[in-house]
Amino acid sequence: MSKENKKLVEAITAQEVDFAQWYTDICLKAELVDYSSVKGCLILRPYGYAIWENIQRLLDAEFKKTGHENVAMPMFIPENLLKKEGDLVEGFAPECAWVTMGGGEKLEERLAVRPTSETLFCDHFAHVLHSWRDLPMKYNQWCSVVRWEKTTRPFLRSREFWWQEGHTIHETAEEAMDETLQQLNCYADFCEKQLMIPVVKGRKTDKEKFAGAEATFTIEAMMKDGKALQSGTSHYFGDIFSRAYDVTYAGRDNVLQYPFQTSWGVSTRLVGAIIMTHGDDSGLILPPAIAPYQVVVVPIAAHKPGVSEKAAEVAQRVANFARVKLDNSDNSPGWKFSQWEMKGVPVRLELGPKDIENNQCVLVRRDTREKVFVSLDELETAIPALLEQVAQGLYESALKNREARTWTANTWEEVKELAAANNGYIRTMWCGELACEEKMKEEVGLSSRCMPFGEEPFADVCPCCGKPAKKVVFWGKAY
């Protein structure tokens, strides 16, 4: 390894030394983000934004398959509109940013910079919904929102962040609940099949649900350090918001009725999940589906006759079936290897004079660094196959980490011992009482992640209080 290559790798703090610093190092040194002059706000640099663009592209296509349409709402919410639903305004009040001046004059009513858009959509629905024939209305918007966080971290928590938020209204409660779970499953499938991140699907406790919702459902991912990351949520509102904002329509019986509402969203937090689920001490490891470049072509001994030309020819061929980057810069091959490892490109293609003589190239997997020699005649089949192997390898590694860090506890002593010794999921029964949920947080530092789907009761009592229990809960430390 050259000195410059070694120095580049050492610029990243090791995960075992300081996981939080390792994460920040990658965000900055892989050129995903930069800090802005606005405290708590970040700049998404081209490489980081390209990852988000690929997430947008794939998810947006899935939303459209199920009949959702994109819209754009204002970023400002009049205070009186925000206050119409009491739980919502109470839940978001500490994080709201307010505009009080406009054009040098004090506003008659202050405006919230949207922390979320339920109120705006309800106001709109009230104007455009007339008859049951108009239903369902299934909208989505891609935008940024502002929440005045005290502690920020790239992608995971910032004062402005980018997301999508879906908002739908339906004729019946059953239709709305089906929509809520459909979108939760959409998120879970996307995480597991595109981001290669295994998730736990379940329902949030009342303490953790969205302000104003009847029920909140979540997908929870486990990071390499064993901490949980809430990676997407889907909310069932019933007719709570419809009543608060007087959203009505003429039903099939010609009587005014309130529609049933949902909302659901994922954000740039998913980029943080990708980093912390798959990355290593050399940098990012990107799932092929969302990698800005799936293959990087690195000429070896590029100064020798014909090498650069052949590398360009190969890159042009690869561009027909994968996103490719030809690195024909003046940097040394070792520097290039390290640079593109840091940026997480799934496959590196090396091509030198001897390779050209033998009509072959070297393909290197980013996740395992395994090298294979491949005939240049077989690139169209070999590279897609290798990308699929990288993707599956990432999923299997993440799943193995989650399984190794998931424990079951039946007594309070077991809970305390496991929480003190490990980061991960602790699976227990729960009586459903808020007092026990708060005891978990206060005494052992664990929050309820979700009540997972498909989990059968495995004990009769809650370990916190000894009372009868029928609900399984996953607890954990979380970002």
With respect to residue 359, please indicate whether it lies within any of the assigned structural domains. Answer: yes
With respect to residue 284, please indicate whether it lies within any of the assigned structural domains. Answer: no
Least confident of 3-7, 150-154, 299-303: 3-7
Distance CA(140)–CA(269), nearest Å, equals 18
> Does residue 268 share a domain with residue 215?
yes
Which one of 223, 247, 278 terminates a domain?
A: 278
User: Residue 406 is which amino acid?
Assistant: T
- Per cent of the chain over pLDDT 70 is 98
User: H or E element: which one contains 4?
Assistant: helix 3-10
CB count in 10 Å sphere of residue 423:
16
Q: What is the pLDDT of residue 10?
A: 57
Contact 138, 256 (CB under 8 A): no
Q: What DSSP letter does each residue of 185-252 carry, written as one string?
A: HHHHHHHHHTS---EEEEE--TTTSPTT-SEEEEEEEE-TTS-EEEEEEEEEEETHHHHHTT--EE-T
pLDDT range class, residue 5, cuts 50, 70, 90: very low
With respect to residue 362, please indicate whether it lies within any of the assigned structural domains. Answer: yes
Q: What is the pLDDT of residue 83?
A: 85
CATH number at residue 234: 3.30.930.10
> Does residue 197 share a domain with residue 60?
yes
* b/e map 10-45, b = 16+ CB within 10 Å: eebbebeeebeebbbbbbbbbebbeeeeeebebebe
Q: Is the pLDDT of residue 450 over 60?
A: yes
Number of domains in the chain: 3
Q: What is the pLDDT of residue 3?
A: 47
Residue 273 CB contacts under 8 Å (≥ 6 apart), including other chains: 191, 195, 197, 221, 223, 229, 231
> Does residue 342 share a domain with residue 239?
no
Which one of 226, 243, 278 terminates a domain?
A: 278
Contact 138, 69 (CB under 8 A): yes
> Does residue 151 share a domain with residue 50?
yes
With respect to residue 116, please indicate whether it lies within any of the assigned structural domains. Answer: no
Look up residue 239 and give its two tokens: 């007719």
CATH number at residue 438: 3.30.110.30
Which one of 255, 278, 301 terminates a domain?
A: 278
With respect to residue 324, please indicate whether it lies within any of the assigned structural domains. Answer: yes
> Does residue 322 share a domain with residue 210?
no
> Does residue 50 share a domain with residue 194?
yes
Report the pLDDT averaged over residues 323-343: 95
User: If you search the block for the tokens 């996953």, which residue do you land on?
Assistant: 474
> Does residue 131 share a domain with residue 211?
yes
Distance CA(312)–CA(427), nearest Å, equals 53
With respect to residue 82, please indicate whether it lies within any of the assigned structural domains. Answer: no
Q: What DSSP letter does each residue of 34-49 carry, written as one string?
A: EE-SSTT-EEE-HHHH
- Count of all residues that appear for the chain in the document: 479
Tell the burial category of 80 from Cβ atoms under 10 Å away from its Cβ (0-12, 13-18, 19+): exposed
Q: Is the pLDDT of residue 1 over 50?
A: no
Q: Is the pLDDT of residue 4 over 70?
A: no
Contact 261, 168 (CB under 8 A): yes
> Does residue 46 share a domain with residue 173?
yes
At residue 195, φ and ψ (nearest 5 deg) are -85, -10
> Does residue 251 share a domain with residue 174?
yes
Q: What are the tens digits of pLDDT across the range 158-192? A: 999 999 999 999 999 999 999 999 999 999 999 99
With respect to residue 86, please indicate whether it lies within any of the assigned structural domains. Answer: no
Q: Which domain holds residue 459?
A: 406-476
Q: What is the pLDDT of residue 150?
A: 87
Distance CA(133)–CA(302), nearest Å, equals 66
With respect to residue 93, please indicate whether it lies within any of the assigned structural domains. Answer: no
CA distances from 292 to 48, 200, 338, 344 (A): 9, 27, 17, 10
Q: What are the tens digits of pLDDT across the range 336-376? A: 999 999 999 999 999 999 999 999 999 999 999 999 999 99
Q: What are the tens digits of pLDDT across the range 411-435? A: 999 999 999 999 999 999 999 999 9
CATH number at residue 372: 3.40.50.800
Distance CA(157)–CA(272), nearest Å, equals 10
> Does residue 257 share a domain with residue 187?
yes
Q: What are the tens digits of pLDDT across the range 251-266? A: 999 999 999 999 999 9
User: If you search the block for the tokens 């990852």, which residue do you land on?
Assistant: 51
> Does residue 335 share a domain with residue 225?
no
Residue 392 CB contacts under 8 Å (≥ 6 apart), including other chains: 196
* Average pLDDT, rounded, for the chain: 95
Look up residue 451 and give its two tokens: 């009540």
> Does residue 236 share a domain with residue 153?
yes
Look up residue 470 and give its two tokens: 């029928």
Q: What are the tens digits of pLDDT across the range 198-250? A: 999 999 999 999 988 999 999 999 999 999 999 999 999 999 999 999 999 99
